Amino acid sequence: MADPNPSTQYAIAARGVRKTYAGTKKSPAKEALKGIDILVRRGSIFGLLGPNGAGKSTFINILAGLVRKSSGEVTVWGFDIDKNPRQARAALGVVPQEINMDVFFTPKEGLEIQAGLYGVPKEKRRTMEILDAMGLSDKANSYVRQLSGGMKRRLLVAKAMVHSPPILILDEPTAGVDIELRKQLWDYVLELNESGVTIVLTTHYLEEAQELCEEIAIVHNGDVVACEPTEKLVASLDRKTLMVTPLEEITASPDLSPFSAELKPDGRLAIPYQPSKAQVAEILERLSAAGVGVRDLSTVESDLEDVFLELTYRAAS
């Protein structure tokens, strides 16, 4: 697809985007987005996370041309969504959260119709190639109503790829999908990304986002409360836990003041601490003073779930 500004490094650039839904007699106006800034680098896998009602779907619908923003600027693959709406929408393949498709068509027919809607010439259509990549080639001529929920979700991904968009938006793509199908889906998505497709992912599986995404934005109540490379975002939470295996079995948590200690069912002590304020050596000194010998110890790092809960809790307070 032609790009009016080939030097740009962003697949999606949103600056100061606001969306206010008009109120009614029964409910006041709602500000769904409060001037958010989001930049998605080309060729990256970008995570868009947040609790229900945070504004993620509103933002995606603005990108897709389904919702009109109240203010701000958005470009998709270099195209302004107001000045060049058709080109901007053509640069996107959107996989919606809801399974919504005509159950009276076969997957092959559905992809052919979708390709026709995007103006893809018959000789350039990749219907069977895409169905094969999604593990649906043997179901090409079955009616969609005969497919399982996981197959239907993979078919949604296939439909989003018929026009070879440079950006693929996945809105909760693995909801309700078993582990095997989830792995197959992500293998294909990673292949797409390696070929240059930019991926934008929303998911409630935080471990999934932590493993796949290079950069993550966390949205809460219409604001972006964090937007960082994944490793930096996880490292930003100043919290670790020291797991200590006592030399001899203990039956109660020792007093390690000012540190707290929790005795786990497996006999280990879990001791949370802030690396910026305390060192492991200090904890070991407190253990020694309490008469607890150490057989083994390990450090548990914070994960994305900790960051997510910390940031959304802080934003809500």
pLDDT digits (tens, 9 = 90+) for 238-296: 678 899 999 999 999 999 999 999 999 999 999 988 887 888 899 999 999 999 999 99
Rounded Cα distance, 131 and 176, in Å: 20
The model's pLDDT over 64-86, given as tens digits with 9 standing for 90+, comes to 999 999 999 999 999 999 999 99
With respect to residue 173, please indicate whether it lies within any of the assigned structural domains. Answer: no
Mean pLDDT over residues 219-242, rounded? Answer: 83
Would you place residue 302 in the very low, low, confident or very high pLDDT band (cuts 50, 70, 90)? low
Mean pLDDT over residues 291-311, rounded? Answer: 77
With respect to residue 275, please indicate whether it lies within any of the assigned structural domains. Answer: yes
With respect to residue 28, please indicate whether it lies within any of the assigned structural domains. Answer: no
Domain that holds residue 292: 238-301
Cα angle for residues 114, 117, 122 (degrees, 5° grid) = 75
Rounded Cα distance, 188 and 170, in Å: 13
List the CATH number of the domain containing 246: 3.30.70
- The position carrying tokens 């083994």 is 296
Strands 215-220 and 45-49: parallel
With respect to residue 73, please indicate whether it lies within any of the assigned structural domains. Answer: no
With respect to residue 16, please indicate whether it lies within any of the assigned structural domains. Answer: no
* Mean pLDDT of the chain, nearest integer: 87
3-state class (DSSP) for residue 12: strand
Q: 242 has which bridge partners?
A: 271, 299
Q: Are 37 and 16 in contact (CB under 8 A)?
A: yes
With respect to residue 265, please indicate whether it lies within any of the assigned structural domains. Answer: yes
The model's pLDDT over 11-50, given as tens digits with 9 standing for 90+, comes to 999 999 999 998 887 888 889 999 999 999 999 999 998 8
285's CB contacts (< 8 A; 6+ apart) are none
With respect to residue 270, please indicate whether it lies within any of the assigned structural domains. Answer: yes
42's CB contacts (< 8 A; 6+ apart) are 8, 9, 10, 11, 166, 198
Number of domains in the chain: 1
With respect to residue 281, please indicate whether it lies within any of the assigned structural domains. Answer: yes
